[in-house]
Structure 1
Amino acid sequence: MDVPNGMRKSVNVLLCLTAVAGIGWSGPVLWDEWRTYRAVGAGCADLVPVREVRGMDHADPVLRNRRSLDREDLPSACLIQNAGDDGDAYGAWLFEAMVDAGPGSGRDTIVSRPEGELPERFARMEVPVGAEVSGLAGPSETTVRLDCPDGTYRGKPAQRIEVTAGAAYTGMSSYHPEPATPGDRERMAAIAVAAAGNLAERLGCASRLPTPPAELPPVPEPTAAGKADGTCAWYGRLESPSREQLWMPDEAMGAPADPHVFRERCALLLTTDSARTLFDTAYAGTEGVSDDEAPSGDPSEAWWADVQTFYDQDSPSVYVGSTGSSKATDSPLAPGTAGRHKDSGLWWATSVCADEPAVHVLRLHYGYSSLSERAAPHFERLFRAYVTDVAARRDCTDLEFPVGSTFRAD
C-alpha cells in the first residue's frame, strides 16, 4: 500500500526527532562510560582490566580515580572510588591494585608481637588461588607472583612481579560490610593475574600465570584440632604428652595445601574456656601475673598462635615488623639460619624446599605471648612437627631449627 506523501513526511520527521532525542540522551551516558574507563585505565597505568573492575558487585555506573599507579616507579598503587550519587562527589572506596616488580618485589613482613591485632585480622586466612597459579586469596584481596628473570626493569633483571588486587570497600561499614562478595573475590583473582600478565609483557617477560579458576576455595573457619586438614593436617595427627595437653590449642584453621603457593599458614586457637582452665592451673598466683590477665570468656579473647612458611626465598626477603605495623623494623630472617627474634614470641627455622630456600616461623600471640616464657617450652615440639611436615610435603632438606634453649627462660 502506498503511503501518502504527507504521511511519509510526518513519519520521517518523527523518526528524526526520535534519533535526535536518543543522541541527546546517550551523549552523557557515553561520556560517563568513557570517563569511567579512563579513570580505571589511566589511573591503573593501563595494567588493570577495566571490564572486571566495572563488573564488581558494588560498582557505581561512574567511577573516579583517587590515586594513580606509576609503572615507572614501582611499587605503586591505584585506588578507584565510586563517584557518588551526583556523579562527581567521591563515594565509597571500591577497588585498589598494588603493583611491584624487580628484586624487591615479593618481600614479606611478619609482625613479631601481634597481640594487639583484632581477632578478625587473625581470622583472615588466605587460600591458594588454585589452577597452578602462584597466588593467595584472602577474604577481600588476591596476591599473585610471577617469576620474571628474563624481563628488565630500570635497566636490571626484573626477577619477579607481584600484584595485589583488593575490594577496597571492605571495612567501610557505612557503605558495605566486609568481607568481599564471592563474586568480587573471584574478580580480584582474575584482575591480579591479568595485571601481572600485562606488566610482564611490558617488561619483556616470557612467563605468564595460568588462568585462575572460576571459583575460589571458601575462606577457612576454625575446626576442632582433631579434624584439622590442609596446612594444619599435621596438627590433627600430633599427639601431645599429658603434661602438655593443657597448653595445646584446641582448634585449628588451615588452608588447602598447594605446592604452587609462595606462603602458607596454619592458625591455632585455644578457645576461651580452655584458656581459662590453663590460666587457673598454670598462671593463677604466679608472681608478676595479675588476675586482670585472666580470660574473661569473651570469644575474642581466645589465645592463639600460628606457624607459617615463606617459600622461594632466594635472597633474604622475610622481614620482622613491630606490633601494629606492617613495616620492617629489623634485619631479614636469612636463609640457613634459625633462632628467636630478640625477646618476642617469634621463632624461625630454615630449609631448602625444591632447591629454593624457605623460612618457617612460629608466633605466639594474644594470651600465649604475654606469658610466653611459660608457654614457649611446650611449643618447641609443635614447631618441629610442623616444619617436618612441610619438609615431607614440599621436598625440603637442610633443616635448621632453633636450639632448645631459645624456648626456655634464662
Structure 2
Amino acid sequence: MRVPERVRKSANVLVCLVAVAGTIWGGKEIWQVLSGRHQIDEACAGLVPAGRVLALSPAGGTITHRVADEGTIQMGDLSGGQDCEIFSTGAGEKYGTSSGERWFFTGAVGLVPGDSRVLADDPMKELVDPSGAPTHPAQPLGGGITGLVGDSGVTVQLPCADGESGRETVKGLWARAELANLGRPFSEDGQLSAGDRDTLAEIAVLTANNLADRLGCTERLPDAPRNIAALPAGPTPAADAKGTCGWYGRAGFAKQEQFPDQVLESRTDDRLWDEQCGLLVSTGRATGLYTAGSEAGDHLVRPERPGQWFVSLHTYSGEDAKNVYLTSTDGNETPEPAEPGKAGRSSEDPIWWASSVCDGAPQIHTMTIAYGYDRLMTAKLAEVFRAYVDDVAHRRGCTDVTFPAASAFRAD
C-alpha cells in the first residue's frame, strides 16, 4: 500500500523533530556530565574519581562545588587534612531546598601523622542515640584494606614510607568518601544504600591510590570489596558479644548488677588505627544503681536517657598512638598527652590510659567512664580495663604492657 505524500512528509517532519530533540537533550546530558566532572576535579585536586562520584544516588542534575579554601583540597597543606565539598541540584530537588541545590558529597585526604590530635572519648559525650534509636557502630572494611565503614561513608589508610609532600613528613596517608546530610530519600533505615556504600568504598580506595601516586608512594590498596554489608544495629546484650567486646561477654562481668549489661561493638581487625568497645548500662539497671547510690549518700545526677551511663574503651595504633590526648571537659584546660610507654589517669576527668607495643609499633589503650557512673564504679572497673587491655595485647601479640597503678583508679 502506498503511503500518501502528505502523510509521508508529516512523518518525516516528526522523525526529524524527535531526532533534533534527542540531540538537544543528549547534548544537555553530555554537557552536564562533562561540567560535573570538571567541577569535581577542580574542587578535589584531581584526586577523587569524578565518574564514581557522579554514580552516587544524590548526584543528579547540575554539579557544583564550594568555592572557598575550606571545601577545596589544597595540596600544600595535607598534614592538617583537606576536603572537597560537592553540591547537586538533584539532591536539592529531592530535599526541596530554597537554593535549588544541596551539598551531598565530601571527599577528604590527609597525611599520617597529621597535625590534629587524637582525643580520647569525652565522659559527657554519650555513645548512643539519646532518643533510644538504634546506633550503628563503624565496621572494618575488609578486603585486605585498613579501613572503616561508617553510617555515612568510608575511610581508608595506606602506609607510605617513601613519599614526599613538600617539607611535611609522610609515613602514611588516609582518604575518606562520604555523603553529607544523609537522610531520606538517599538512605535506608538511617544507613547508606547498598549501592552507595559500595561506591563510596571504591571512591575512598581510588582517592587514596591517586594521592599515593601524587606523593610518590610505592604501596597501593587493592580494589575495594563489593556487596559491603549494612552496619549491624546496637546496643546488644553483653552476653551476645562476639567482636571487639567479646572478651567482656566471655568474662561474665554483666552478670553482676553494677556492671554494664549492653555492648556497642564492631568486628575485630588488628590493622585498624582505632578499635572500640562500648559498654552501656541499660535504663533499668542504671535506675536501680542510681537509687541505691543516692540512698547511700552519693550525690548523683539521675540518668534519664538510654546509655547515659557508659564505659568507652579504645585502642589506638601506630602513628595515631603517638598523638593521643585525654579530652578535657573544661574548655580552659589543655588536653593531656597519653604517652606511649607510660600509663595513668587524667588529672581532671575519669579517663585512663595504658600502653603496649605490637610489632614494634606503639599502642595506646584508653578507658572513659561517664560522669555519675564513675562515682559508683571506678575501683571495680579497673578490673574491666585490665581485662580489655590483656585481650587486645593477646590478640595482637603485644608486649611491654604498662598499666596504671591501683591508686590511679579513683573518682575525683
TM (norm. structure 1) is: 0.85
Write out per-residue CA displacement over residues 204-263 of structure 1, whole angstroms, 9 at most, x where no aligned residue: 001011222113343232221111111111001114498xx2221011121111122221
Partner of 2:271: 260
Match of 2:236 in 1: 223
Alignment of 1:395-406 (within 5 A): 395-406=397-408
Any idea what SS the aligned residue of 1:24 has? helix
Residue 189 (1) aligns with residue 189 (2): no
Residue number among 103, 109, 115 corresponding to 2:119 in the alignment = 109
How many Å separate the matches in 2 of 1:344 and 1:214? 42
Question: Within the alignment, does 1:119 sit opposite 2:145 as a pair?
Answer: no
Instruction: Name the SS of the counterpart of 2:318 in structure 1.
Output: coil
Partners of 1:123 and 1:54 in 2: CA distance: 29
Aligned partners of 2:177 and 2:389: how far apart in 1? 30
The answer to whether the aligner puts 1:334 opposite 2:333 as a matched pair is no
Equivalent position SS for 1:305: strand
Task: Specify the alignment match of 1:38 in structure 2.
Answer: 38
Matched, 1:345 2:350: yes
Aligned pairs (5 A) from 1:275-354: 275-289=286-300, 293-296=301-304, 298=305, 300-313=306-319, 316-323=322-329, 329-354=334-359
- Cα distance in structure 1, aligned partners of 2:397 and 2:307: 37
CA distance, structure 2, for counterparts of residue 282 and residue 39 of structure 1: 59
> Which amino acid is the alignment partner of residue 404 of structure 1?
A
- Which amino acid counterpart does residue 39 of structure 1 have in structure 2? Q
> How far apart, in 2, do the equivalents of 1:225 and 1:18 lie?
65
> 1:235 is matched with which residue: 248, 251, 262?
248
| Residue ranges of structure 1 left out of the alignment (5+ in a row) | none
* Contact 1:306 1:364 survives alignment (8 Å): yes
**Which shows bigger deviation, 192-201 or 232-241?**
232-241
Amino acid corresponding to residue 256 of structure 1 in structure 2: R
Whether the aligned pair in 1 keeps the contact of 2:40 and 2:65 (CA below 8 Å) is: yes
Q: Deviations over 1:56-100 (max 9, x none)?
A: 223223222123222222221111122234999452321111211
Alignment CA distance shift 1:181-1:258 (3 Å): same
Equivalent residue pairs, number: 397
- Identity fraction in percent: 34
Unaligned runs of 5+ in 2: none
Q: Which residue of 2 aligns with 1:380?
A: 382
Q: Are the aligned partners of 2:336 and 2:346 in contact in 1 as well (CA < 8 Å)? A: no
Partner of 1:200: 212
* Residue 68 (structure 1) aligned with residue 81 (structure 2): no
Q: Is the 8 A contact 1:106 1:161 kept in 2?
A: no
Q: Which of 360, 373, 382 is 2:365 aligned to? A: 360
Cα distance 1:314–1:180, how it changes in 2: closer, same or farther (>3 A)? closer
Which residue in the other structure is 1:100 paired with?
110
Q: Is the 8 A contact 1:64 1:90 kept in 2?
A: no
CA distance in 2, matches of 1:228, 1:145: 27
Q: Distance in 1 between matches of 2:411 and 2:62?
A: 60
Separation in 1 of the partners of 2:360 and 2:341?
13
Shift of residue 351 of structure 1? 0.1
Aligned residue among 161, 164, 171 for 1:159:
171
CA–CA distance in structure 2, aligned partners of residues 215 and 80 of structure 1: 25
TM-score (norm 2): 0.85
Tell me the distance in 1 between the aligned counterparts of 2:384 and 2:210: 43
Measured after TM superposition, the shift of residue 102 of structure 1 is 5.2
Is residue 120–residue 368 contact of structure 2 (8 Å, CA) maintained in 1? no
Name the Cα RMSD after superposition: 3.4
Instruction: Describe the superposition over 1:79-125 as per-residue Cα deviations: whole angstroms up to 9, x where unpaired.
Output: 11222349994523211112112542685222433336763699352
Return the match for 2:226 from 189, 214, 220. Answer: 214
Larger deviation: 59-68 or 256-265?
59-68
Answer with 213-222 or 255-264: which moved more.
213-222
Letter in 1 for 2:313: V
